Amino acid sequence: MTDFIHLEGVHKTFGDGPRAVHAVEDVTLSIDRGEIFGVIGYSGAGKSTLVRLINGLEPVTTGRLVVDGAEVSTMGEKQLRGVRAEIGMVFQQFNLFPSKTVAENVAYPLRVAGWDKERRAARVTELLEFVGLADKANARPPQLSGGQKQRVGIARALARDPKILLADEATSALDPETTRDVLGLLRRVNAELGVTIVVITHEMDVVKYLCNRVAVMELGRVVELGSVYDVFSNPQQDATRRFVGTSLRDRPSPESLRRLAATHPGTLVTVGIQEETGSSTRLMRTLAEHRVDGAIVYGGITEIGERPFGSLTLALTGEPAAIDGALADLRTHTTVHEYPELAGAVPGSPATGSAPPSEGQEQR
Ligand SMILES: Nc1ncnc2c1ncn2[C@@H]1O[C@H](COP(=O)(O)OP(=O)(O)OP(=O)(O)O)[C@@H](O)[C@H]1O
């Protein structure tokens, strides 16, 4: 694997003066040949701008951008056209011609590139077979489902055999089942055709299913970057934590927390579950060693790239000193979140192990 797409201190500013919009600020990252790289962020984070820089649709304001050995940041329009030919784009709204047939839509970039009719037809057949739409060649987009439209979009993006595919919210308009389907196709594009894929999304599940590495963007900046497992199993930034929370019920909301505290005696804590050091087996063993009981009241465990990942909220009961000891022990190998805001707020649920049992708790 080599640095295939490289950005170094890249800025993109729209306008100038006090009204300037800093859409991308000081972004440095490298994407390897053959990987599926995710860029996740909320609306306005700068994801689409980043994609438009990579495919040369927008010039970089300052910084260095290299794509497949070519210094895009210093290129003129004519050279940029050459770069764009090597990059396929897939869009949220598919961007198909509604009055053209599926075959004509897929053939369009080949027509523009001057391919003759016979060669075009052979390539279109090949592409429609690859995306599983050989029987829809003569249908028109309005007759297709959302998932089928996106398959056409992917076939069209692959027409000129690009080295890179940029997927900008490619599944955001689709239902969960169709999303899985399209993501499965993107995986095949990567594995079978060796295409490097950059996925722009605001959906954690897309990154979790598809990507090797991820950059989390907020206000134009990359705030976290690393393997999907590392970034999401140990989030450092609030934005990342919020994404983790959308995929997995990470921590209870304040309302749930109050309800849980009212219905479960004991000390509420949320413990991170990760591979090995933070496994649920180790969690239960630690509690047993300290003679602390832990009722699981919230959370769950899922997988990222076949590795376990999640969080469990437990109501711990036992001697206050034993609970403190268990939490200290757990903290040496995983994350432990306590809820000091519950102290005294809800009868029957001291927030920390060392708080004295309240009246409510004694009644249970
Ligand atoms: N051509 C432009 N002119 C001025 N401002 C722009 C332009 N394009 C983007 N912006 C601004 O740059 C910021 C980043 O926008 P961008 O579209 O890259 O974010 P995003 O993360 O892709 O969000 P979304 O998912 O909503 O598209 C926003 O504040 C946006 O208004």
Span from the CA of 207 to the centroid of ligand 1 (angstroms): 21
Cross-strand bridge partners of residue 13: 22
State the average pLDDT over residues 214-233: 92
State the ipTM, two decimals.
0.94
- Give yes or no for residue 25 CB within 6 A of ligand 1: no
Kindly list the domain boundaries of the chain, sorted by start residue: 3-246, 248-363
Q: Could you tell me which of 36, 13, 22, 7 has the C-alpha nearest to residue 197? A: 36
- Give yes or no for residue 48 CB within 6 A of ligand 1: yes
pLDDT band at residue 344, thresholds of 50, 70 and 90? Answer: low
pLDDT band at residue 363, thresholds of 50, 70 and 90? Answer: very low
Q: Decide whether 3-246 matches 248-363 in CATH topology.
A: no
pTM of the model: 0.81
Does the domain made of 3-246 have the CATH classification 3.40.640.10? no
Residue 11: pLDDT over 80: yes
Residue 46: pLDDT over 60: yes
Q: What pLDDT does residue 3 have? A: 77
Contacts of 87 (CB under 8 A, 6+ apart): 54, 55, 56, 67, 162, 163, 164, 165, 166
DSSP-derived 3-state class of residue 85:
helix
Residue 364: pLDDT over 80: no
For 78, phi then psi, to 5°, come to -65, -45
Residue 347: pLDDT over 70: no
Residue 300 CB neighbour total at 10 angstroms? 15
| pLDDT tens by residue, 280-318 | 888 999 999 999 999 999 998 888 877 888 889 999 999
Contacts of 114 (CB under 8 A, 6+ apart): none
Q: Name the closest-CA residue to atom 31, ligand 1.
A: 44
For residues 112 and 242, what is the distance between their CA atoms, to the nearest angstrom? 43
Spell out the CATH class of 248-363: alpha beta
For 101, phi then psi, to 5°, come to -75, 170
Residue 250: pLDDT over 80: no
Please choose from 12, 14, 198 the residue to mutate so as to test ligand 1's pocket, defined by most ligand atoms within 8 A of CB: 14
Six-digit token string for 179 = 């999303």
Residue 147: pLDDT over 70: yes
For residues 177 and 340, what is the distance between their CA atoms, to the nearest angstrom? 40
Average pLDDT value over all residues in the chain: 88
Q: Name the closest-CA residue to atom 4, ligand 1.
A: 14
Q: State what percent of residues in the chain have pLDDT above 70.
A: 92
Span from the CA of 45 to the centroid of ligand 1 (angstroms): 7
| pLDDT tens by residue, 85-110 | 889 999 998 999 999 999 999 999 99
For residues 266 and 321, what is the distance between their CA atoms, to the nearest angstrom? 13
Q: Could you tell me which of 266, 302, 308 has the C-alpha nearest to residue 287? A: 266
Q: What pLDDT does residue 356 have? A: 37
Q: What pLDDT does residue 239 have? A: 84
Q: Name the closest-CA residue to atom 30, ligand 1.
A: 44
State the average pLDDT over residues 197-208: 92
Q: What pLDDT does residue 309 have? A: 84
Considering only residues 241 and 350, tell me which one the structure prediction assigns the higher pLDDT: 241
Atom of ligand 1 nearest to the CA of 49: 18
- Give yes or no for residue 208 CB within 6 A of ligand 1: no
CA atoms 3, 9, 15, 19: torsion sign: positive
